[in-house]
Amino acid sequence: MMMNTPQIISALLFLLLLRDTGVTAEPSQQSDTAAAQKAQDVCQPHHIHLSVGRIQNSTHSSMTISFSISSACVGKKGPGKKSIGAVRLIGEGEEDDFLVIGDGNNTKSYDAMSPRRGIKRYYSDLYYHFEIDDLRPDKEYSYECLLLNKDDMSSQQYLREDKTTLEISGDNTGVIARSDISTFTTPPAPGQWHSSGRTITFAVLGDLAAKEHSKKTIRHLDRHSESVDAILFAGDLAYPSKDHDNWDKWMDLMSKRDFFNAIPTQIALGNHDLDTYKHGWIYDINESVEIALAYEHRFQMPQIRPPIRELASLKGFTTSGQPTDFVPYEYGNAYYSFTFGPSKHIVLSSYSSFREGSLQHEWLLSELKSVDRSVTPWLIVMIHCPLYTTFKTHRREIFITEAQAILEPLFVKYTVNFVISGHVHAYMRTYPMAFSRRNPRGPVHIIQGNGGKAVCEPYYNETVEEWVAVRDQSQYGYGTLELFNSTHAMWKLIKTGHDEGGEFELNLNLLDEIWVRNQLYVEEMSVNKDWEDNL
């Protein structure tokens, strides 16, 4: 008997049919159905999210699909104790339909102590990360996340042969649990735009947390996410404060919104994402601690190489969790790059050394030299700590002062268009600038740190610096960067938190809106000349 519905739903319909015809299901059937429903409930894939994969060329694209399975499911007594994760892709043609089954190399889990949990140890979910690399550029795919029974390989073969149905035979079909079907669109090929003619749009977030204002920000983004191609998240995601339950709450919050499993999210490392975790029972200021534990396990960016994370000294962190010097963390999700149609993105780590001769500095030099601006005319850098700030907080940190000294000359030399940051809980956009002066060929620096964490940063000077175009210390929101063509882009800052009355027009809530001409095509000029004439 062939059905077009999942096994569990079909079994329930079968029981309803028996009830309506006056036939009572056998106790064994009732027991099997109850067990299947329990397995679906306990083992349901959740926290599903996406990131752009490493392969982006004229013929192939890749996307990483991540999800987690509860430790209650995969534990020794759980219904998924003999399970393996999988992702099923559903495309238009037969060649686009396939099942990718985990092999153990794409699963991660961790455990840690936390002062806030007392002696109770935290055990994480099991995280699956599938980089699907046989996709076509600028194409829509549907997918679902599955948990399969490793003891029933025949069902996995069956799924490979027919992606739309499951056979109801009275035996375990091998599918323990499955997610709803979601949809994503792969990036256009490098140098290309959407075949539909639609512009390329990025939403920009920073310093979100899981507060009331955070909820309003992501609710607004979710309502207006249809035109968003990818999300650039400038760090400080969950603010865990050494409590991994806060990571779970943040992932729960994000998972309630449709965009999280439909739009790739690219993240930068924030100081609160580093966090510090001791594996022993007692915290000691002289002890070494793990860093970026959750950040590396819960996400997978287009990695250059697997992460190198060494233990750090707890003495190297302030009581609020701010590192006082660079930490031993390289590659992985710390820093990476990706291409999205006409734009090249370089994501840097403020907290991995970028001094000359460091691994990150050498990699950055290589990346900048390799960018072909005839293919990707837009060059965008994301780094948590800003190089320039009009606010008092954080301005003397070495991650800012050394970035100005070491990174800014490279950004100016290679004509970076935008430098996107967070860290400061406020908003700022500069004019195109270089070396503390307005310069039409320099990058536009943006602080987008007003996602949801308390916005209350004092200004360093009451008089606005001459290189600051817009600054705000009181509004929450997110930005959008829309690339229209090779020469022009539009930046907007959208206020959130004022939508309690229902639907509203997006353009009524703009705090900032500006056309930006690609600095690559702007002639050098005196800073005294009216640069706005050249936008």
Question: Tell me: the pLDDT tens digits for 322-378?
Answer: 999 999 999 999 999 999 999 999 999 999 999 999 999 999 999 999 999 999 999
Residue 411 has pLDDT above 90, yes or no: yes
pLDDT at 499: 46
d(Cα 289, Cα 214) in Å, to the nearest integer?
29
Say how many C-beta atoms besides its own lie within 10 A of residue 285's C-beta: 8
If you count them, how many residues does the chain have?
535
pTM: predicted TM-score of the whole model, two decimal places: 0.88
Residue 6 has pLDDT above 50, yes or no: no
Mean pLDDT, rounded, for 39-52: 94
Residue 16 has pLDDT above 60, yes or no: no
pLDDT at 279: 58
Task: Please indicate whether residue 524 or residue 466 has the higher confidence score (pLDDT).
Answer: 466
Rg (C-alpha) for the chain, rounded Å, is 25
What kind and span of H or E run contains 370? helix 359-370
Q: How far, CA to CA in Å, does 199 sit from each of 221, 229, 263, 287, 492?
A: 18, 9, 15, 51, 15
Lowest mean per-residue pLDDT among 48-62, 94-108, 414-428:
94-108
Residue 309 has pLDDT above 80, yes or no: yes
d(Cα 87, Cα 66) in Å, to the nearest integer?
9
Model confidence at 280, pLDDT cuts 50, 70, 90, reads: low
Model confidence at 206, pLDDT cuts 50, 70, 90, reads: very high
Over pLDDT 90: what percentage of the chain?
Answer: 70
Return the domain boundaries, the chain: 44-185, 200-534
Return the amino acid letter for 346.
I
Task: Please indicate whether residue 32 or residue 393 has the higher confidence score (pLDDT).
Answer: 393
Q: Which CATH superfamily hosts domain 200-534?
A: Metallo-dependent phosphatases (3.60.21.10)
Nearest alpha-carbon partner for 360 in 454, 275, 268, 291: 268
pLDDT at 35: 66
d(Cα 61, Cα 507) in Å, to the nearest integer?
33
pLDDT at 36: 72
What is the DSSP track for 204-234? EE-S-TTSHHHHHHHHHHHHT-TT--EEEE-
Task: Read off the pLDDT of residues 149-187 as tens digits, 9 standing for 90 and up.
Answer: 987 755 444 444 343 333 323 344 589 999 999 999 999
Mean pLDDT, rounded, for 8-37: 45
pLDDT at 39: 78
Q: What is the DSSP code (8-state) at residue 292?
A: S
Model confidence at 26, pLDDT cuts 50, 70, 90, reads: low
Residue 278 has pLDDT above 90, yes or no: no
CATH number of 44-185: 2.60.40.380
pLDDT at 24: 45
pLDDT at 94: 64
What kind and span of H or E run contains 201? strand 200-205
Return the amino acid letter for 143.
Y
pLDDT at 285: 59
Write down the number of H helices and E strands in the chain: 11, 33
- Three-state DSSP at 453 gives coil
Pairing of strands 343-347, 336-340: antiparallel
Task: Please indicate whether residue 449 or residue 28 has the higher confidence score (pLDDT).
Answer: 449
